[in-house]
Structure 1
Amino acid sequence: MTTAETRAGALPDLADVPARELQVAVLGVGMMGADHVARLYSRISGAQVVAVSDAFAEKAEQVAATVPGCRVIGDPLVAIADDDVDAVLIATPGQFHEEQVLACIERGKPVLCEKPLTMEADSSLAVVRAEDEYAARTGRRLVQVGFMRRFDPEYAELKALIDAGGLGEPLLVHCAHRNAAVPPHFTSEMMVNDSVVHEVDVARFLLDEEIAAVTVLRPKATRHAVAGQSDPLLVLFETTSGRMVDVECFVSTGVGYEVRTEVVGEDGSAMIGLDAGLVRTSGGSSGAARSTGIAPDFRQRFGRAYDIELQRWVDAARRGEVDGPGAWDGYAAQAVCAAGVEALRSGQRTEVRLASREGTAS
């Protein structure tokens, strides 16, 4: 296949991919990217990491040395364009995502981009529209965003229960997102953009509707908070149909990594995140007893989710498909977070400004 054909939107060589391994380039090999390289090499079938790229050449060399046949390509855009690369996993800092994702679309290469899709809602929408144009030409979509909780077995079980009507009509969602500690540069705005963003996607995923408005409250701050910042925060989402989702975000608990989600419906409730599987209450009965174990960080809590996410991404890419949250989900999350940051600063209920989804597949 010629470079011109690839740039015109043809998916490079993927007709042959089911018969061989998907050749993957990983961009950014810090903590998350390096974990993904190891995961693709040791636990994911049907894929081979053939290239890594990172601003720190020494780190890239160290990671590449752990995978036989893996090369270091200094320029991430060159890595995307490389003829030996079928698909791209982006784990670079967020400010580089827009250019890199757009390059993947231009080259017709499937891409899994860790959140955020881009740093602003407007640039995320530009990615959505670029993929829309590609899909109109080819009938295929390329972009998946790394909201891994959708692949977590507990979240999948909760979603299946809701969809089957097991709780009746869902009315309320209660969420808690707690970290033991965060770096000194971690601001209250980052609590919204880097932490609460996961609850944004969880709410949209479980309830299957958009978030229409955000309110952020600042309770009394813990003495362990980063200087000058509000920690914890209470965030309230209002969905388009009038459901309510409350989020406690507390990033300096000193305890561990705790993520809990409870859905309250007309006919019962169900909670996950207690280290005891899904706990359901209905008709006065309750499920499993609560465990006392708490994961030390997100990699332990969601390790299985990352494994499932990457395996399904690889399998779908080999079929020329996307099997997970797409560009629109990345854009919607950024739009809600933008409203959340505005609400944090103003202290006022803030409506989410969401563009038309016309032309974008579900």
Structure 2
Amino acid sequence: MTGQGTLGVAVIGAGRMGADHIRRLDRTVSGARVAAVADVDAERLADGIDGCAAHTDPAAALASEGVNAVLIASPGPVHEEQLLLLALEHGLPVLCEKPLAPDASSALRLLRAESALGRRRVQVGFMRRYDTEYARLKALLDAGELGRPRMLHCRHRNVASPPGFTEQMMISDSVAHEIDATRWLLGQQITAVTVLRPGSGGVREPQLVLFETDGGVVVDVEIFVNCGFGYQVQCEAVCEAGSARIGDGHAMVTQAAGRWRGDRPGLCGRFEDAYDREVLQWVDATRRGEVTGPSVWDGYAVAAVCEAGVRARSGGGRVPVTLTGQPALYR
């Protein structure tokens, strides 16, 4: 679609995240409408949305009249089938919530499938790239005002994890955000992962996840998914000539030459604006006939690091990360 009218989106999967995207497309984002929903509860979710078709079968949703893009918010293990066999076969542009795939081999098949098309069709939903604070930190690091980055300190805390959340998912569903943020903020690849766990028995947390990058930066991530005291996502970049920190409930704080500076904006949902901005930019790009944002290559790289992290968490010690050669499509 290239700027001809409203973008008709099929939303595949309407759990907590999918339902939020349905609301966002229907009420917040301009230039798009929810044309179809595929979910076991699709009838209820489509009710009240003018012209929205309800299906339990994703294939039927993608074939619905007026659908010219797809937003996939179903569980990660079914993404490969729904992307490779459905969306790519239909030639539809896709916004796929992370994880792109549950393992590196599945992500690599998707990478090769899209590469064979000769053009990008898929954007992966790493929404922290659209957060105002993360964007400011990225701009500061790119400008080199604080010198070269040497370390990143990250904290990722949730009040409680949902039912069925496993210790492995601490890496694949939670730390995955820090993996992409690290690669994006630094412009570097992660080359090794180590996981340290306190205590014994059950889900031992908080856990400390250590990344090494090909640019010599060391990154530590505290992951604590059942902290009980609040939702906190923070990141501090320590550079040669100063530091910068985000996620404290106010705007970015910088410290250099013996002085610190920070602003305190109004409080709101930590990443609500980032999700809005991500979907709006995806809609705008799709209507122009473009695909921007995090790519299938990014999704594959994150899956490979997650896989190494899961092995490290299971007693593998320091686990190297090996990536296939980057196809020309993603350079």
Measured in 2, the distance between the counterparts of 1:318 and 1:312 equals 10
Task: Give the letter aligned to residue 232 of structure 1.
Answer: P
Measured in 1, the distance between the counterparts of 2:64 and 2:330 equals 29
Measured in 2, the distance between the counterparts of 1:116 and 1:330 equals 7
TM-score of the two chains, using structure 2 as the length reference:
0.96
The corresponding residue for 1:28 is: 13
How much does 1:66 deviate?
Answer: 3.2
Q: 1:276 aligns with which of 219, 226, 250?
A: 250
Q: Could you say if the C-alpha distance between residues 318 and 151 of structure 1 is closer, same or farther in structure 2, counting changes exceeding 3 Å?
A: same
How much does 1:288 deviate?
Answer: 2.5
Measured in 2, the distance between the counterparts of 1:358 and 1:20 equals 33
Measured in 1, the distance between the counterparts of 2:222 and 2:147 equals 25
Measured in 1, the distance between the counterparts of 2:67 and 2:42 equals 17
Q: Report the 3-state secondary structure (helix = DSSP H, G, I; strand = E; otherwise coil) of the residue aligned with 2:105.
A: helix
Measured in 2, the distance between the counterparts of 1:345 and 1:105 equals 35
Measured in 2, the distance between the counterparts of 1:358 and 1:86 equals 27
The corresponding residue for 2:35 is: 50
Matched, 1:63 2:53: no
Task: Give the letter aligned to residue 242 of structure 2.
Answer: G
The corresponding residue for 1:100 is: 82
Measured in 2, the distance between the counterparts of 1:158 and 1:51 equals 37
Q: 1:239 aligns with which of 213, 218, 222?
A: 213
Say if 1:153 and 1:305, in contact at 8 Å, map to a contact too: yes
Post-superposition CA distance 1:12-58 (Å, at most 9, x none):
xx24xx1300110001111111100110111101101110010x2xx
Measured in 2, the distance between the counterparts of 1:96 and 1:20 equals 31
The corresponding residue for 2:141 is: 162
Q: Per residue, is there more strand in 1 or in 2? A: 2
Q: CA-atom RMSD, angstroms?
A: 1.7
How much does 1:78 deviate?
Answer: 2.3
Measured in 2, the distance between the counterparts of 1:347 and 1:249 equals 18
Q: 2:111 aligns with which of 84, 108, 128?
A: 128
Task: Give the letter aligned to residue 235 of structure 2.
Answer: T
Measured in 2, the distance between the counterparts of 1:142 and 1:358 equals 15
TM-score of the two chains, using structure 1 as the length reference:
0.88
Post-superposition CA distance 1:129-183 (Å, at most 9, x none):
1111112xxxx31100110000001001110111111221111100000011113
The corresponding residue for 2:324 is: 355
Post-superposition CA distance 1:290-321 (Å, at most 9, x none):
89x7x8xxxx3110000000000000111111
Q: 2:189 aligns with which of 190, 207, 210?
A: 210
How much does 1:289 deviate?
Answer: 7.0
The corresponding residue for 1:7 is: none
Measured in 1, the distance between the counterparts of 2:140 and 2:310 equals 32
Measured in 1, the distance between the counterparts of 2:81 and 2:29 equals 27
Structure 2, unmatched stretches of 5+, are none
Say if 1:128 and 1:360, in contact at 8 Å, map to a contact too: no
How much does 1:240 deviate?
Answer: 1.0
Structure 1, unmatched stretches of 5+, are 1-13, 222-226
Say if 2:53 and 2:64, in contact at 8 Å, map to a contact too: no
Measured in 2, the distance between the counterparts of 1:360 and 1:163 equals 23
Task: Give the letter aligned to residue 199 of structure 2.
Answer: K
Matched, 1:40 2:14: no
Measured in 1, the distance between the counterparts of 2:232 and 2:292 equals 27
Measured in 2, the distance between the counterparts of 1:66 and 1:306 equals 23
Q: 2:308 aligns with which of 328, 332, 339?
A: 339
Q: Report the 3-state secondary structure (helix = DSSP H, G, I; strand = E; otherwise coil) of the residue aligned with 2:310.
A: helix
Measured in 1, the distance between the counterparts of 2:216 and 2:320 equals 13
Measured in 2, the distance between the counterparts of 1:272 and 1:247 equals 14
